Structure 1
Amino acid sequence: MTTRRLGVLGVQPAVVAVLVSTFFLGFGGGVIFPILPNLGAVVGIAPVVVGVILSANRVVRLLANAPVGTVVDRVGTRTPFVAGVVLETVATVGYLVALRSAVPAAWFLGARVLWGLGSAFVLATAYTIAADVCEPESRGRTMSIVRGGTSLGFPAGMAIGGIIGEVYSANAAFATATGLSVVACCVTYLAVPETHAADRSGGVGLRDLDFSSPALITGGANFALLLTYNGVVFATLVSFLDTVPAGGVAVGAQGTSGVLIGASVLTGSVFSVAGGKVSDVMGHRLPVILACFGGLSAGMVLLAVGTTFPVLLTAVLLLGAGQGGVGGPLVSLLGDLTADSRMGRATGTYNALGDLGASVGLLVSLPLAGLIGFPSLYRLTAFVPVVAATAVMAGLYTTYDEIPDVTSG
């Protein structure tokens, strides 16, 4: 475990470096995101192929998360993190090439594959770095800062990307993303240290995945969390807004959806840090996790009855607060219960289960809404956080005969 020194605002320098790098990567990813669904109009790619391109990065990351965790435990944190940032930068260059290529679909698909692989390295390593450099009593705050901070760049990039693509061109937006990714590369190479040297093991192989109780308990909860928020909400909100009067507020369903999701994501980042800090002060993660799962469920219920913009805004703010408030303490709980030498593999399993939940939500939510309607879908989804909260509590009691505190690891 690395020496723990305090940097900006009491945050360890390694964590600050990770936050800056991932902010620029997220910002660049957000700049690109509004344009990708419109590739049919931009370069004439068939809608089915656009769907494959959009999902490629998540499929690759889902498959890569767990093996990447073993790499982190084997070789350390710096090299995988640098590799992940470089892969994502190369991916943004691939987008630029695709616009000028005779086979743009192949280039876009390859770029999304690289982005997915790179993000698997970045996310698994970022959590491991945070766990390596913090004390148990401040783990909630530190790991929640990383979780919340890594998502901050994306909504800002989405807003800027839509403007750049609309006012200038897709090429200008992709060039902006490439420049931001290059900045992330420079920050990463110069500022991100090795934090896992004392805990890495040359005997760890790619098949040494982590299926321990802490990884499965927290990973299962992450599955439910991302199924609800990144899956159901993200996949259906625009279509749902088309069915209610508030969907036409000011900028139409698509614009209103962007405003609501941006506000929700920002709220989630704030509550991720706040939830982690509160769990540190309390000495236990579970009360915060249970309360915020309740908020997530309440947000889904409120969304189901939303017919005015104020109600919809309140619903998505509740959803953002719930997912952020759960996510920070949840990954901190994983750090509490996992040995330093296994943290890379544990976060790989945690991320894999979360991506699986988001993928399931994205796949089933729109077809299910077509069968039962959006309000019924949202009411049904409101049970998912309740089941997850119950499962976490039961899993901890069954495994440890008590609720672990922040120093249990």
Structure 2
Amino acid sequence: MTGTTPHTGPEAAPKTTPEATPNVVRSVLLLALGAFALGLDAYVMAGLLPSVATDLKVSESTAGQMVTVFTLCYALAAPLFATVLAGRPARLALGLALVVFTAANALSALATTLPVLLLARALAGIGAGVYSPIAAATAAGMAGPERRGRSLAIVMGGMSVGTVVGVPVGVLLAEHVGWRGTLWLVTALGLLALAGVTTMLPGAEATPPPPLRERIRVLGDRRVAPVAVVSLLGGIASLGLYTYLASFLADAARVGDPVGYLWAWGIGGVLGSLLVGPLVDRTGKAFTVVAGILSVLVAAHLMLPAVAPYTWALVVPLALWGAAGWALQVPQQHQLIDARPDHAPVAVSVNSSAVYLGSAAGSALGGLLMAAGLPASRLPYCTAAVALLALLLHLTVVRSRGRRGPAAAERGQPAQR
């Protein structure tokens, strides 16, 4: 639902010369292939949830915890392994991450019990969480300042394409060869990326993401914490429902094949992620943009049960929800950079961790509610309430903290933290 803005720090590779450009493009595309596999793996399990639950003879709410452990480990992997990876060659760090990711997906495809599947999904989340920020930082460093934005867009675009194109294709594939076949596809993509990274990526030092203690220190800033909490709540609302989207469609709209609806959500997400950046740049009002996005998210979730009897109309709230979910983090990152320009990479990485922790909490809470007897058709009301809480927090606490910081700076005093 959201890309990760990397902690680039020092250059991850020597500056690019014109003659080296083709090699850089090839390397960035290899990194994007790995990101594509990550994006597919992170989101496709939601579409496969009914099949997995049936095959393993567990409830869908229980099977949904495979999404919880993946996103939780994704959120924690980067900061926990940051110190270990410091100073290591990027090729080695990325190769190890892809080995873990690929092996874990193979184990997922072979799993015959839920505990084994949960362990495999946790390992896949660790591999993905280590790979993503280092791949982005490596791409930025190889490209040099003049091509950094384009290279980052290619790598992070690989993840969004993996979600928008890969997820529906993965669900379609599962209809013919089963959910395990889709995971074997992810495994094959991971192997391709691993072969490319280990044989063709130039030698460069990996720039690890900020360690956990540094993130916690910045999170203590009173201007940072409320923004991070809004991102956390946004993650809970968005992935908390997406994990059980197939269950919602089956219960509320009697839809057995979710592929078309996954396309609607994903296309909305791409449009939202592409349009929000220019909107923030043009208006310069990240706070207002966040308020509008959260309002759209609340409205979209409330619309889902209302239009469910008219299945053709579901594409509208799904597209709006996808657009809002993917767009939210760009203005959130702007607000965090404004709050802590002296620690901008760390502040943005805090936001990334908050999103993925929220995603883990959302899928876990959604499963608990369904296990307690809540019909999947009612789940959007719960996630709309969480999104509304995020909006209220944004309009009150975030607004007041944002005003207090600049006011203190104008008086020559340190901003309140």
Calculate the TM-score normalised by the size of structure 1: 0.73
Query: In the alignment, is the contact (CA less than 8 A) between 2:141 and 2:148 conserved in 1?
Result: no
Name the CA shift for 1:96/1:355 in 2 (closer, same or farther; >3 Å): closer
List structure 1 segments (4+ residues) > 6 angstroms apart after TM superposition.
Answer: 4-8, 11-14, 130-145, 339-342
Aligned-partner Cα distance in 2 for 1:138–1:283? 24
Name the CA shift for 1:128/1:236 in 2 (closer, same or farther; >3 Å): same
Query: In the alignment, is the contact (CA less than 8 A) between 1:227 and 1:359 conserved in 2?
Result: yes
1:138-153 mapped onto 2 (5 Å cutoff): 147=156, 149-153=158-162
State the shift of 1:346 in Å. 4.2
Query: In the alignment, is the contact (CA less than 8 A) between 2:302 and 2:384 conserved in 1?
Result: yes
The DSSP-based 3-state class of the residue aligned with 1:255 is: coil
The residue aligned with 2:260 is 259
The residue aligned with 1:327 is 329
Aligned-partner Cα distance in 1 for 2:361–2:77? 17
Aligned-partner Cα distance in 2 for 1:121–1:25? 11
Name the CA shift for 1:381/1:40 in 2 (closer, same or farther; >3 Å): closer
Query: In the alignment, is the contact (CA less than 8 A) between 2:49 and 2:244 conserved in 1?
Result: no
Q: Which moved more, 1:61-70 or 1:45-54?
A: 45-54
State the shift of 1:364 in Å. 3.2
1:5-404 mapped onto 2 (5 Å cutoff): 16-27=29-40, 34-35=47-48, 38-39=51-52, 41-42=54-55, 44=56, 47=59, 50=63, 53-69=66-82, 79-98=92-111, 107-126=116-135, 128=137, 147=156, 149-170=158-179, 172-189=181-198, 190-191=200-201, 194=204, 207-212=213-218, 213=221, 216-231=225-240, 233-242=241-250, 244=252, 247-248=253-254, 252=255, 254-256=256-258, 258-283=259-284, 285-307=286-308, 308-331=310-333, 333-334=335-336, 343=345, 345-365=346-366, 367=369, 370=374, 373-374=378-379, 376-377=381-382, 379-390=384-395, 391-401=397-407
The DSSP-based 3-state class of the residue aligned with 1:370 is: coil
Query: In the alignment, is the contact (CA less than 8 A) between 2:229 and 2:354 conserved in 1?
Result: yes
1:11-37 CA-partner distances (Å, limit 9, x unpaired) = 988765543320133335566665565
Aligned-partner Cα distance in 2 for 1:125–1:385? 30
1:288-317 CA-partner distances (Å, limit 9, x unpaired) = 333322322332233353242344221111
RMSD: 4.4
Aligned-partner Cα distance in 1 for 2:386–2:64? 24
State the shift of 1:55 in Å. 3.5
Query: In the alignment, is the contact (CA less than 8 A) between 1:227 and 1:361 conserved in 2?
Result: yes
Name the CA shift for 1:160/1:329 in 2 (closer, same or farther; >3 Å): same
Aligned-partner Cα distance in 2 for 1:50–1:236? 10
Q: Aligned AA for 1:396?
A: G
State the shift of 1:222 in Å. 1.7
Q: Return 5+ residue gaps in structure 2 as ranges.
A: 1-9, 410-417
Name the CA shift for 1:268/1:170 in 2 (closer, same or farther; >3 Å): closer
State the shift of 1:328 in Å. 2.8
Calculate the TM-score normalised by the size of structure 2: 0.72
Name the CA shift for 1:37/1:338 in 2 (closer, same or farther; >3 Å): farther
State the shift of 1:117 in Å. 0.8
The DSSP-based 3-state class of the residue aligned with 1:124 is: helix
Q: Aligned AA for 2:319?
A: L
Query: In the alignment, is the contact (CA less than 8 A) between 1:92 and 1:111 conserved in 2?
Result: yes
Corresponding residue pairs, total: 383
The residue aligned with 2:415 is none
State the shift of 1:166 in Å. 2.9
Q: Aligned AA for 1:399?
A: G
Aligned-partner Cα distance in 2 for 1:16–1:81? 14
Q: Aligned AA for 1:303?
A: L
Q: Which moved more, 1:70-79 or 1:361-370?
A: 70-79
Query: In the alignment, is the contact (CA less than 8 A) between 1:137 and 1:280 conserved in 2?
Result: no
Name the CA shift for 1:291/1:375 in 2 (closer, same or farther; >3 Å): closer
Name the CA shift for 1:332/1:382 in 2 (closer, same or farther; >3 Å): closer
Q: Which moved more, 1:235-244 or 1:263-272?
A: 235-244
Aligned-partner Cα distance in 1 for 2:304–2:25? 39
Aligned-partner Cα distance in 2 for 1:96–1:27? 15
Aligned-partner Cα distance in 2 for 1:309–1:220? 34
Aligned-partner Cα distance in 1 for 2:214–2:297? 34
Name the CA shift for 1:402/1:272 in 2 (closer, same or farther; >3 Å): farther
State the shift of 1:229 in Å. 0.9
Name the CA shift for 1:139/1:396 in 2 (closer, same or farther; >3 Å): farther
